[in-house]
Structure 1
Amino acid sequence: MIGNRDEYESMYQAERKLWWYRVLHNKVIRQIQTVFPTDQSIRILDAGCGTGGLLDALRQAGYLNTLGFDASTDAVFFSRERNLPVELHNLLDINSFHPSESFDVIICDDVLYFFNDEQIRHILGVFRQRLRPGGIFISNNNAFPALRGTHDIALNISRRFVKKELADFAGQTGFSLKQVFYWNFLLTIPIWVVRKIQLLVWRLNPARPVHSDVNQPPHWLNTLLLNILRLEERLFRKPLFGSSLFTVMR
């Protein structure tokens, strides 16, 4: 995705309103509030922050002691358009990012799928070292290789995860796995159908440009999808499957 300014611009325009981002950001904030129910002065790092939508949501929730970085100059540009404290840095060189600083919360959403197993273990190992006592690491990732579509091709996503993989990474890097669960359960089958159709169309014409699924649908559809996921959260605490995989480690 790095170098694809159009995709970052789409993300920037969609993050505040798109149903998927709104649900994800609420999940992250609820996890933080569970561990730190009254302390909004905690130090939070968003590693691979994209265009800053989550940092903006954290700011609106009252968390001002935040910091982010991304390896894309476009992502940093759009984050700074929101007046967010974001720096240009590569996740694989996490050791050199503010080396004397530690954090109460480290977040790395939808980034690990760019890396191989060895790189992920390295990244998580450094995150564990940089967490303060009692701190948490939060990560959302895409789930199930069967859900691969042109979205993955457009963003150069190299892998999708299942629970066991994230649990294994936690154990291999000294983390305690606090939570791991799938979400977007009620929409998984429709997503699977749409992505199979997308792949079929693309294979018939591979020269056709592909784009991610990050775009703002009509207001009525966005509201409907948001309400479906809110219903899911009330009905299913830990769904059997879903298009996304949410993980909390300590």
Structure 2
Amino acid sequence: MNDLEYQTMGEVEQDHWWFKHRLSKVQKVLRNESEKKKYSFNIFDIGCGTGGLLFELKKNDFINKASGCEPHPIGFEFCQKRKLSVQKCTLNNLKIDNEIYDVVLCMDVLYHKDIDPIESFQNIKQLLKPNGILILNVAALSCLKSSHDLNVMGVRRFNLTGLRKLAIKNGFIVNQLHYWNTFLTPLIYLKAKIDYLIPSLNKGKSSVRLPNKFFNKFLILVLKIENLFQKYINFPFGTSLFLVCEKR
């Protein structure tokens, strides 16, 4: 991810519609699993960016301890300002001192150019307790590739079948896997095509900048409505894939 994207994300992620909805999805899973297992979790966030997700999760009583890692200097600096327990490193050179976790978060990391998805799944397994939970979000569908992918150094997008096979092949039991941000996908597809045809439109602009206040609230509402439908419908597409799986 380039410096502009990190700086912008650190400034807007606590208000931005997309980040707020992703947070709510993670919180819901963690709350339900904590109630089921009847204890609070030690969690680790891989590539935690500017730390917004960890910062918000720490406020919940179902979290006992929250830590993570982030290699980018701007992201790491934001994490330090938020007083988060974060190592400045990648998953590949992480020092864990034999500590293992109840839950590992991997939010929009697997698409990065420096990441090997298979190796990442194996490293994540080493971080998790037996029956530990992996919560993963990743960019979906190659047809949606846009200037955003270039800005965040994303070189791959996943489909549902491929991500399921990847998780199972690497020793995980899939509990939940679905596309999300489905309702907005046609608009995002159209924007991706415009970006491709007229690349100068977004030159020098962050792709995660905050929309105006009214539009931001409207997009939050759209995703809340989508969630209601998602209880009854498995959407066949979306801009992101959300995976919850368990270490065998």
CA 1:112–1:45 in structure 2 vs 1: closer, same or farther (change >3 Å)?
Answer: same
What is the alpha-carbon root mean square deviation over aligned residues? 1.8
Residue 158 (structure 2) pairs with residue 161 (structure 1) = yes
Higher strand share: 2
Matched residue, 2:26: 28
Larger deviation, residues 126-135 vs 52-61: 126-135
Number of residue pairs matched?
A: 242
Matched residue, 1:51: 50
User: Aligned partners of 1:8, 1:33: CA distance in 2, in Å?
Assistant: 28
User: Aligned partners of 1:21, 1:102: CA distance in 2, in Å?
Assistant: 27
Residue 41 (structure 2) pairs with residue 42 (structure 1) = yes
User: Aligned partners of 1:164, 1:93: CA distance in 2, in Å?
Assistant: 30
Residue 98 (structure 2) pairs with residue 104 (structure 1) = no
Residue 147 (structure 2) pairs with residue 150 (structure 1) = yes
Residue 229 (structure 2) pairs with residue 222 (structure 1) = no
User: Aligned partners of 1:170, 1:115: CA distance in 2, in Å?
Assistant: 19
Matched residue, 2:198: 201
Percent of pairs with identical residues: 32
- Cα deviation for residue 40 of structure 1 reads 6.1
CA 1:219–1:24 in structure 2 vs 1: closer, same or farther (change >3 Å)?
Answer: same
Q: Does the 8 Å contact 2:145/2:192 carry over to 1? A: yes
User: Aligned partners of 1:89, 1:151: CA distance in 2, in Å?
Assistant: 24
1:14 to 12, 15, 18: 12
> Residues 137-168 of structure 1: CA distance to partner in whole angstroms, max 9, x if unpaired?
01000000100111111121101100111111
1:180 to 173, 177, 181: 177
User: Aligned partners of 1:8, 1:64: CA distance in 2, in Å?
Assistant: 27
Structure 2 segments unaligned to the other structure (5+ residues): none
Q: 3-state DSSP class of the match of 1:179?
A: strand
- Cα deviation for residue 115 of structure 1 reads 4.9
Structure 1 segments unaligned to the other structure (5+ residues): none
Q: 3-state DSSP class of the match of 2:131?
A: strand
- Cα deviation for residue 68 of structure 1 reads 1.0
- Cα deviation for residue 91 of structure 1 reads 1.9
User: Aligned partners of 1:217, 1:59: CA distance in 2, in Å?
Assistant: 27
